[in-house]
Amino acid sequence: MKRLAFFVFIFFALSSTNSTAQCNSEALSNQCIPKLASGFNFLKSYKIDGEGGAKDKVEYSYVFTKGTQYMINICAPNQPTDGIVVTLYDSNRNKVATSKVNGQYISAIAYPCNATGIYYIQYTFDGSSTYCGGSALGFKR
């Protein structure tokens, strides 16, 4: 009986540890909304949950239209981006933009779209410690 009680205790202790380490990507994506630059209207918030490293990317898509400027930003729990990189691809999977440049992680991309179409917004983890973040998409004319 003592052994059973011990295992039950361990089970709950581990469950508790796991729940505190869970990724609250919804809260982080909500934090990102007011960080969109002035003049941008909010469109979407995106959860970035790499499931502790089990996922190497999280991807969304959106139709961007010519003549509209879009902004995509990143929020992470501790550091500004925690190694999360956002890369934008066009419908043919050509790379259009990335937030990592010269080893530097930028927390926001402004993209004045010149070509209407479906774009893929891909988040990857480059040395991330939490594999957890949020992002917001806004637009202005």
What residues line the site for other proteins (CB under 8 A)?
A: 1-2, 4-5, 8, 12, 15, 33, 37, 41-45, 60-63, 65-68, 71, 88, 90-92, 94, 96-97, 99, 101, 104, 106-118, 139-141
Phi, psi of 32 (to 5 degrees): -75, -25
What is the smallest separation between the CB atom of 10 and other proteins, expressed in angstroms? 12
What is the smallest separation between the CB atom of 52 and other proteins, expressed in angstroms? 20
Other beta carbons less than 10 A from residue 50's beta carbon: 21
What pairs with residue 121 in β-bridges? 60, 88
User: Smaller CB distance to other proteins: residue 21 or 63?
Assistant: 63
What is the smallest separation between the CB atom of 75 and other proteins, expressed in angstroms? 14
User: Smaller CB distance to other proteins: residue 55 or 111?
Assistant: 111
User: Smaller CB distance to other proteins: residue 132 or 137?
Assistant: 137
Q: Which residues contact 10 (CB under 8 A, 6 or more apart)?
A: none
For residues 32 and 135, the answer to whether their CB atoms sit within 8 Å is yes
Other beta carbons less than 10 A from residue 60's beta carbon: 16
